[in-house]
Chain A
């Protein structure tokens, strides 16, 4: 069995494994009546103090547009000098747009209780998010829950909260990297939404220490923190982000684009995107197929990691944004990042065909369809349809490119369950009905088509490269 088939088989099995039975119609109707008929309770939405800040990808996109205009207007030399001050990378925190917009912790804050010391060590407040580093020291091993499922069920899973001066609570939106610092204290970076510049202080509240057994470690921590603006001091590492000159991205551009390179102490980080290959399509977000290989000039594989703090949200261009970090400098340059296969999704389009099954079709009856369908850039062929005792099986294949996925439904007749099976030359989509199986003339709608397009596509870079 090929690697691809392993993956398909695993993912299909996972999909079926986690498909629970549908709730009963009676339950859905009764619950709807119960919750909707309760007493009305008009209320207001409170306005928070949190800025409504665009997502990082949007900021980067905007920065790119401004950059291109600036190149045209004032010339590349001055622009290059200017942009080197625009973006900085703070390891563990991510990209920041301007140093002047950054605030940090006024001073570290510490509290010791029952031998456990909690320290708020540093904070970085940018226009895109708030990051806060805290450390824990002196925790007894007996206080820490084990890794078994049962132990983890009993452990504390609370996340620290930032309480603002007006009482609003800011819940964390995620954790950054964690580990042990130079003083052997356990260090955690926690992220929150960006804070308004007017907020100069807050209270860091930790109901219990994550991973500990309730009652075995001090609880209900509250530490006041203050934020100050101004240049970042030496406690926060900043790395320069090199913009890689590129033409205006368009449909004629190579699909793989390297946007930025960051030189770290022991290597480089590459940030870029994979552009859609066809109009009105997007590079599907998923893991498999997007894991590239990175090789040096001698063809030797270079190991890499994905820096969590540099992965941006997807934007509306349909591109897949990537970031890979290599911890190597003394290698045969240039390095080449190569993608072998990508999934291209034609989400904006759907296709349909008609199945005239007649009344009372017999179990096992097969209709040869042989119809080609096109959903945007994705083209497929419906080979045949088979009637099962509890529904229908559809045999479908990709035309120009292998089919990875599609959604299939009989219009007006949502199925109770479905299953997918891959065969060498086609995929079987099986719709199952718990109750009445639709018959007669049916409109079969196909959407969400994803095809696997093979490359390879690659991009090379070496230190000192001014062009790709």
Chain B
């Protein structure tokens, strides 16, 4: 599957969203109530990203609240040279960096124990896949895991990830490509 575009919006949509965000930011600077559309647009994605970092609902809620409070209190620092999403997730990234909690491993098994897979066989297969992925991810560098979180949990575009990590968009594309290839080769090796 095209791994970048699943579930949320397409990249074309996201480019349009970036432009819309800039329009929405201006009134929000003068009037907090006008921040509502931006809040609604990003609250779930910020929460998912934060959850992927801390792995706990209560802590994820607490951190998500802090991210949005930081954002609304520092809207003046937002400049449209980047993207609003990139700016917002930079806040989330820093908040989480200050909040070193348990690592990502373990979160998935918690989620898997729920009702997501009603077919017991399917659940076993997925749990096995997640166990293998857990192992592969634990062998990655933290910056590589962060790329995956920003990509899969936050659904950010390359441009937005580049803004958060302060790297060029090209560098992110290359890094992501190499990372997926690396994971893929290890994934295949385990299958054989």
Contact = CB atoms under 8 A, between A and B. Distances in A.
* In the complex, the 10 A-B pairs of residues with the closest C-beta atoms, listed nearest first: A311-B170, A287-B177, A174-B168, A18-B152, A20-B51, A174-B167, A405-B2, A347-B12, A11-B3, A448-B10
B72 A38 contact: yes
A385 to B, nearest CB: 16
B180 A287 contact: yes
B174 A311 contact: yes
A23 B61 contact: yes
A153 B174 contact: no
Interface string A154-194: 00010100000000000111111000000000000001010
Contact of B141 (A15, A147, A191): A147
A11 B171 contact: no
B116 A313 contact: no
B1 A19 contact: no
A28 interface: yes
Chain B, interface residues (CB within 8 Å), range: 35 or more
B167 A175 contact: yes
Contacts, number: 232
A23 B7 contact: no
Contacts of B43: 23, 28, 31-32
18 contacts: A11-B2, A11-B3, A15-B152, A20-B60, A20-B107, A36-B35, A41-B32, A48-B79, A147-B141, A171-B166, A285-B11, A308-B170, A309-B168, A311-B169, A311-B171, A407-B6, A450-B2, A450-B5
Interface stretch (A2-10, A236-244, A332-340): A2-10
A42 interface: yes
B159 A313 contact: yes
Nearest to B192: A1
B162 interface: yes
B47 A23 contact: yes
Contacts of A191: 168
Contacts of B152: 14-15, 17-19
A27 B47 CA distance: 11
A149 B142 contact: yes
Interface residues of A, number: 87
A32 B81 contact: no
Given A10-B184, A40-B32, A347-B12, A18 B79 contact: no
A45 B168 contact: no
Contacts of A389: 118
Q: Which of A18, A34, A282 has the most CB of B within 10 A?
A: A18
Given A7-B180, A11-B2, A311-B173, 5 more contacts: A19-B153, A36-B32, A46-B76, A308-B174, A347-B13
A31 B130 contact: no
Interface string A284-295: 111110010000
Nearest to A6: B188
A317 to B, nearest CB: 12
Contacts of B73: 41
A388 interface: yes
A343 B168 contact: no
B68 A35 contact: yes
B174 A306 contact: yes
Interface string B150-190: 00110000110011011111110110110011011001100
B153 A14 contact: no
A207 to B, nearest CB: 14
A153 B143 CA distance: 10
A462 interface: no
Interface of A: 1, 3, 6-23, 27-28, 31-32, 34-46, 48, 50, 52, 147, 149, 152-153, 157, 159, 171-176, 191, 193, 282, 284-288, 291, 306, 308-313, 343, 345, 347-348, 388-390, 404-405, 407, 417-420, 422, 432, 447-448, 450
A286 B170 contact: no
B153 A18 contact: yes
Given A23-B43, A174-B162, A43 B188 contact: no
A343 B10 CA distance: 14
B65 interface: yes
Contact of A310 (B33, B153, B170): B170
A12 B141 CA distance: 21
Contacts of B75: 43
Contact of B44 (A1, A10, A23, A171): A23
Q: Which of B1, B143, B170, B191 has the most CB of A within 10 A?
A: B1
Q: Which of A27, A389, A419 has the most CB of B within 10 A?
A: A27
A405 B3 CA distance: 8
A35 B141 CA distance: 35
Contact of A420 (B1, B4, B167): B1
B5 A448 contact: yes
Q: Which of B4, B52, B73 has the most CB of A within 10 A?
A: B4
Contacts of B181: 287, 291
